[in-house]
Amino acid sequence: MKAIVKVKLLNHYILLRGESMVETRVRAKGILKKFVISEETGRKFGIVGNVDFITESGELLNIIIEDATTHLKQLNLKGDEKGRYLIPFSAVKSIGDFVIVSENELV
């Protein structure tokens, strides 16, 4: 059975592949406390509180959202045991000043 871990990420990197297929390494702790924004509408969803990943492979599963906005709550996403919302990492489009996610991939 694969172990899914929720931890504060300190020295791990996230490898992103954009539309240009250029890979970019982002320090995982760098996304903590960033606002999560919808690519389509520009609405805020909340703040990145943590990341779920599989320890054996390093596969990123979800972004855990703190301080979820009303808009995010209306999307009826899965939550964790503490009632925080989970955004699948596959919906992440870019990470910079904000974490941009595709709202179309959430529903």
Domain ranges of the chain: 4-105
Instruction: Tell me 97's DSSP state.
Output: S
Contact 89, 63 (CB under 8 A): yes
4-105 is a CATH 2.40.30.10 domain:
no
Q: Could you list the pLDDT tens digit for every one of the 107 residues in the chain?
A: 444 444 444 445 555 555 544 555 566 677 889 999 999 999 999 999 998 888 788 788 899 999 999 999 999 899 988 989 999 999 999 988 999 999 999 87
CA atoms within 13 A on the CB side of 46: 20
Token code pair at residue 30: 């760098």
Give the separation between CA 66 and CA 84, rounded to whole angstroms.
Answer: 6
**What letters, b where the CB count within 10 A reaches 16 and e where it falls short, cover 88-101?**
bbebbebbeeebbb
